[in-house]
Every structure is written in structure tokens, then in C-alpha cells.
Amino acid sequence: MKEFDLIGNYFAKGGFTRKDVVLGIGDDAAVTRVPAGQCLVTTTDTLVEGVHFLPGTEPDAIAHKAVAVNLSDLSAMGAEPAWISLSLSLPSIDETWIKAFSDKLHSLSKYFSFQLIGGDTVQGPLSITITAQGFIPDDNQIMRSGARPNDWIMVTGCLGDAGVGLDLLKNKIQIDHLEHASYLKNRHWFPTPRVLAGTTLRRIATSCIDISDGLIQDLKQVISRSEIGALVHLDKLPISEAMGKNIENVVDAITYAATAGDDYELLFTVPEEQRVNIETALASYNIPVTCIGQITGATGKLDLRLNEQPFQFDIDELGFEHFS
């Protein structure tokens, strides 16, 4: 099958279409319109087989994750998704695989109202690069650099599930409770990008980042960019029922929650006067949110506490390292 057939048969049709797309798939480039008063927000993320997902991962999970990690980056800026471009590198043409991949992509495009506007298909090792574009009202972007001393540190959802799910898939750990095990694996395969939370945080959060490399690793980015310090109460990290009931050692559970990557929850800071507002707004959308600590003036310092006592993790490097 030629590239043109592949694109025509599986990608050019079946997804969400938007009125702001002047020209979608099928020419040298796509043409779109950014609404007046909005800035364009652009992010690119690549997933490589064996690095970002296990060999043999189902195509729908790969498609889901490739989209989710990009929408998560848009959400961390407070942006709403509009269009994505897909570069798909495939070792060979497997139509069953491509159909499952493109079906999931189209279903996500309808759920999140973005349109696939173009891309590239090449022969090569299995790898997916997505560039996602979205909008944010002028000057409303939420940056990593805006956290201020005394701001509360908040996170959406539960932390560590994806890390436990990955260890289950790698047979590093075992969980007998089938429903819990399945929930945790699904949190690894199908992370939820916090699109609605992201747009809700505009004008309220002082800083925001998505948790892709692990809470501590990503919080360090905020600390560095905002030139502040942070105090985190590890005992307050939100843990799912599935994780809490099956990872019985508290330090193990906290290690997953604080250092495992791929949760794609949002980590953000809010000043005291906005805390109730944001809790109310997110609650109205059924998005769980937890306060896990506070920004301090101790520039560059990350102060971890467990039950009010200073705590140090017993590992050298925390969070996902991109080159090992």
C-alpha cells in the first residue's frame, strides 16, 4: 500500500471536522484560522516503541497516549485543543493495526473536538510524533514561572497509578485484585488529559505544569523557573483506592505517587484568595483536586515532609530521564 492510499483510506476521513480548518489533509500543508483575540499554542511530543511504550502495546493505547500527552501539554498552558498533525513511522503496513490506531484517533478527535489536519507516514521503527495546536485568549497562558511564595500547590486526580500499571505490565509487581489491576494498567495505557481543568485554571492559577516525568521532577521545573521553593506533604499526595489497597507499604506508595511518570495530571499553584474558587470550579466538573503543599521563599529548595518529618527518597534519580 502506498502512502497516499494509507492516508486516504484511514486518516483523511472519519474524524472531527472544524469550521476553522480552511484546508485539511491532502495538500502540501494545512490551512487554518486562529480566532481574533486568541494566541496559538503549539506542542510536540514523540513516543518511541520500547522507550515510551512497551513493545506489543495495542494500537488503540498507543494512539490514545500519543494524543493524550500532547493535549496534556496544551492543558498545562490553559489552552483548548484545535488541530493535530500526526507523523507515523511504521516498520510495515499492517492494516488491522492502522485501522485500530486511526479509529481511536478519530474517536478522540470527536471527544476533544480537534481535527487531524495533516502529517506524514514513513517507513521506519515504530514511533509516533504529534504536534498539537490550540488557542488561549491573548496573554492568558499559564506558565511554569509564575508561582509565588505562599501560593498553594495543588494537583488534579490521583498520582502514581500509571507507574504501578507499568510495573504490573513489566511483571515487577503483582496485584491479585483483578479489577484494581485492570484499573491501574488502564491508567498507564489511557491517561486522561486534563483539558477542562486546564481552561478552568486560566486567570486563576499562577503556574501550571503537567506531571509527565513524575511529581518531584516536574515540581523542580516550577521551582527553577519561578525561582521559589516548595514544601510538599507527601502524606497528602492523592492515592487511588486501587493503589492504596494494593501497595501496602506507605513509602512504596508515596514513591510511586511522587516519582513515577506518565500520570498526566496537572500540578498548579494558586494564591490563597483563589483557592476556594478553583476548588469549587473543578468540583463542578467532577475533577478531583488536592492541596499537597505550599510555595516558599527558599529559592531552589524542595522541602519534602512525611507526617511533618523531613523525608528523603532512597534513590539517586527521581522521575523519568529522557536519556539513560
Secondary structure, 3-state, 49-79: ECCCECCCCCHHHHHHHHHHHHHHHHHHHCC
**Site track for a second copy across 180-219, x = CB under 8 A:** ----------------------------xxx---------
* By CB under 8 A, residue 64 contacts a second copy: no
Residue of 124, 150, 277, 300 interacting with a second copy (CB under 8 A): 124
What CA–CA distance (Å, rounded) separates 14 from 102? 9
Q: Phi and psi (nearest 5°) for 108?
A: -65, -35
| Span between the terminal Cα atoms of the chain, in Å | 37
Residue of 109, 133, 206, 274 interacting with a second copy (CB under 8 A): 133
Q: Strand, coil or helix: what is 317?
A: coil
Residue pair 265/159 in contact (Cβ under 8 Å)? The answer is yes
Decide: residue 209, CB within 10 A, 0-12 exposed, 13-18 middle, 19+ buried: buried
Q: How many CA atoms lie less than 13 Å away from 207 in the CB half-sphere? A: 27
Angle at 288 between CA 282 and CA 294, to 5 degrees: 85
* By CB under 8 A, residue 276 contacts a second copy: no
What CA–CA distance (Å, rounded) separates 14 from 6? 13
* By CB under 8 A, residue 73 contacts a second copy: yes
Q: Is the CB of 5 or the CB of 272 nearer to a second copy?
A: 5
194: Cβ contacts below 8 Å, ≥ 6 apart: 72, 75, 156, 157, 210, 264, 265, 266, 287
* By CB under 8 A, residue 324 contacts a second copy: yes
Residue 279 CB, shortest distance to a second copy, in Å, is 23
Select from 103-111, 126-134, 157-165, 173-181 the region that touches a second copy (CB under 8 A).
Answer: 126-134
Residue of 94, 95, 120, 227 interacting with a second copy (CB under 8 A): 120
* By CB under 8 A, residue 19 contacts a second copy: no
Q: Is the CB of 141 or the CB of 182 nearer to a second copy?
A: 141
**Site track for a second copy across 289-318, x = CB under 8 A:** ------------------------------
* By CB under 8 A, residue 143 contacts a second copy: yes
Length of the chain: 324
* By CB under 8 A, residue 167 contacts a second copy: no
* By CB under 8 A, residue 63 contacts a second copy: no
Q: Is the CB of 6 or the CB of 159 nearer to a second copy?
A: 6
Q: Which of residues 82-111 bind a second copy (CB under 8 A)?
A: 83, 85-87, 89-90, 92-93
Q: What is the DSSP letter of 8?
A: I
Closest CA to 282 of 157, 184, 168: 157
Residue of 1, 251, 276, 283 interacting with a second copy (CB under 8 A): 1
